[in-house]
Amino acid sequence: KAGVTQTPRYLIKTRGQQVTLSCSPISGHRSVSWYQQTPGQGLQFLFEYFSETQRNKGNFPGRFSGRQFSNSRSEMNVSTLELGDSALYLCASSSDRVGQETQYFGPGTRLLVL
Amino acid sequence: AQSVAQPEDQVNVAEGNPLTVKCTYSVSGNPYLFWYVQYPNRGLQFLLKYITGDNLVKGSYGFEAEFNKSQTSFHLKKPSALVSDSALYFCAVRPRSGNTPLVFGKGTRLSVIA
């Protein structure tokens, strides 16, 4: 099976712009989670989608949003970018079946905000 | 609230020696426990998980972890370290009940010296 894919892998934006990141989960996985990774804060949970519905949400401002499509692919959007949004954004998918709770991660999108 | 502690930011070990990366957690009930590894400029790779059963869990690349319920610990171990094991290691926990997100520790950087 192909793994989790994320596009683009690298992105450079300027403050005030908005950005959309994409994640394609492992085939058959219906749960997609997003994380922000920075050197100072470590891995922080953004949100989780399951069957096109947001199931969990982390403690991030409303500038961070996401959605999931019927094919389980997910996008996250960050509006009005700030310098502090520079980070590695990781997407993970899981099957959500009992005993298969493992989340598998994509390679990440590295966002640099100038 | 759930939390995961990785008390060591950095662990140094000589090649061929055994290694231990420590993890303790605080969560109600019996959680699912995970270890992930991250190589530079990559996403997180799943190493192993504890769901139930034997307290010693074997995973990828010769790694294993020991679940200790009384000490609420899940330390990662390997009998003989390789230089290629040098990476960032994350412990994560997820309660069994409810659809709550993974909570990660801050990570421990492992350096294996030849």
Contact A99 B90 (CB under 8 A): no
pLDDT in tens, A32-86: 999 999 988 889 999 999 999 999 999 999 999 999 999 999 999 999 999 999 9
Cα dihedral B13→B83→B51→A54 (10° resolution): 110
Closest-CA distance, A108 to chain B, in angstroms, reads 6
Closest-CA distance, A81 to chain B, in angstroms, reads 22
Contact B36 A101 (CB under 8 A): no
Using DSSP's 3-state secondary structure scheme, residue B61 falls into: helix
Picking from A35, A55, A104, the nearest residue to B46 by CB comes out as A104
Cα dihedral B95→A45→A68→B49 (10° resolution): -40
Contact B103 A45 (CB under 8 A): yes
Instruction: Check CB contact of A42 with chain B, cutoff 8 Å.
Output: yes
> What is the structure's pLDDT at A7?
97
Per-residue pLDDT band for A99 (boundaries 50, 70, 90) equals: low
Closest-CA distance, B43 to chain A, in angstroms, reads 4
> What is the structure's pLDDT at B110?
97
Instruction: Check CB contact of A104 with chain B, cutoff 8 Å.
Output: yes
The tens-digit pLDDT sequence of chain B (114 residues) is 789 999 999 999 999 999 999 999 998 878 899 999 999 888 899 999 998 888 999 999 999 999 999 999 999 999 999 999 999 999 999 888 777 888 999 999 999 999
What are the chain B neighbours of A42 within 8 Å (beta carbons)?
104-107
